[in-house]
Amino acid sequence: MIRLGLLFVWLVHFLPLSVMAPIGQGLGMLLYWLGSERRRVARINLRLCFPDMPDSEREALVRRHFRAFGRSVLERGILWWSSKERIQKLVRIEGMEHWLAVKDRPVIWLAPHFVGLDMGGVRLTSEFPLVSMYSNQKNPVFNKVLYRSRTRFGTTRLASRQDGIRPIVKGLKEGLPFYYLPDMDYGPRDAVFVPFFGVQAATITGLSRLAKMTGAAVVPCVTKQLSGGKGYVMKFYPAWENFPGENLEQDTRRMNAFIEACVREMPEQYFWLHKRFKTRPEGEARFYG
C-alpha cells in the first residue's frame, strides 16, 4: 500500500502546482472521510483550544485542515524528486535579515508543526548547511524516502531521537543552525506542563536548555501554505531577546505563546491530527480515551 501511495505521489509531482493543489485538497477530504480516528483527534484538539467557537465553525476548520494537510502530503513529491531549482521557486524565504543578524553565533531555528514544515526544512537544505533531528518511521520504504529527501542536497546532518542531543550540540558548536521541532507531546520525560491555548500540555524544555548550553540565539521560522497553488512562504522572525531567561518553565511557556499567536493567524494549517494533549498531569482524565 505504501509503495502504491508513493507511486501516485511520484506521478503527480510532474504536474504544475496549480493542478497539484486541488488534487491534494481532494486527497485531504478523502483522508477526512476515511480517517475516523484522526478526524476525532482533530475535533478534540480544536474543542480544547477553541472552546468558544461554534461547533459548525470548528467542523469547517477540521475540513480546511484536512484539505491543507492533503495538499502538503501530495506536494512532498516535489521535495522528494524535483530539482533544487523547482523547490527554491516553490518556497519563498522572507525575513532572512533576522537570521543573518545573529549568524555569527549558534542559532536554533524554531520550526512549529504547521503543514508546510517539511517544505520550509527542505527549502533550507537546498541552500544552507544545517543540523536537524528525525524520528524513524515504522515502514522502512517510507523511512528511506523521508531520510533521502532531507539529506539529498548533501548539506544536512541528521540525528535520530535515539541519539539524544549530543550530535545536535556538536553541530551547533560547529556553526550549523539547528532546525528544531519541539512542539509535540513526546511524553513526560524532559517536559513540563505549561498552557497551550489554556490547556496544560506536556512540552519538552529542550529549546531553553539547548540555548543555555550552547549560547544559541532562537530565530523562529514558520512556513505558510499559500492558497491557489501559489506555493509556500517560509518566514524568519527576529531573534528572541532575553532568552533563555532564569526560569525554564517560563521559557517553555514563552515558546507555546509564540506558537499560539502563529496558530491564530492560520489555524487550519497547524498539525491538529497529533494528540497534543495525550500526556496528562497525574490524576487528570485522558482526553482521547
Question: Looking at residue 114, what DSSP letter applies?
Answer: B
Cα–Cα distance between 209 and 243 in angstroms, integer? 10
Among candidate residues 80, 75, 88, the one with its CA nearest the CA of residue 27:
75
Check residue 228 and give its pLDDT: 81
Check residue 201 and give its pLDDT: 98
* 225 and 247 Cβ atoms separated by less than 8 Å: no
Check residue 44 and give its pLDDT: 98
Among candidate residues 220, 236, 225, 231, the one with its CA nearest the CA of residue 266:
225
Check residue 98 and give its pLDDT: 98
User: pTM of the prediction?
Assistant: 0.94
151-173 tens-digit pLDDT: 889 778 988 877 788 999 999 99
Which residues in the chain show pLDDT less than 70? Answer: none
Check residue 163 and give its pLDDT: 78
Check residue 140 and give its pLDDT: 84
Question: Looking at residue 284, what DSSP letter applies?
Answer: P
Question: Looking at residue 178, what DSSP letter applies?
Answer: E
User: Residue 11's CB: how many other CB atoms inside 10 A?
Assistant: 10
Cα–Cα distance between 238 and 230 in angstroms, integer? 25
Distance spanning both ends of the chain, measured CA to CA? 29
208-217 tens-digit pLDDT: 999 999 999 9
DSSP alpha helix (H) spans, the chain: 2-12, 17-34, 36-49, 55-81, 84-90, 96-100, 117-125, 140-151, 166-173, 206-214, 248-265
Check residue 137 and give its pLDDT: 79
Check residue 149 and give its pLDDT: 81
* 18 and 228 Cβ atoms separated by less than 8 Å: yes
* CA dist list (Å): 269 to 42, 67, 231, 264: 12, 9, 14, 10
Cα–Cα distance between 125 and 156 in angstroms, integer? 6
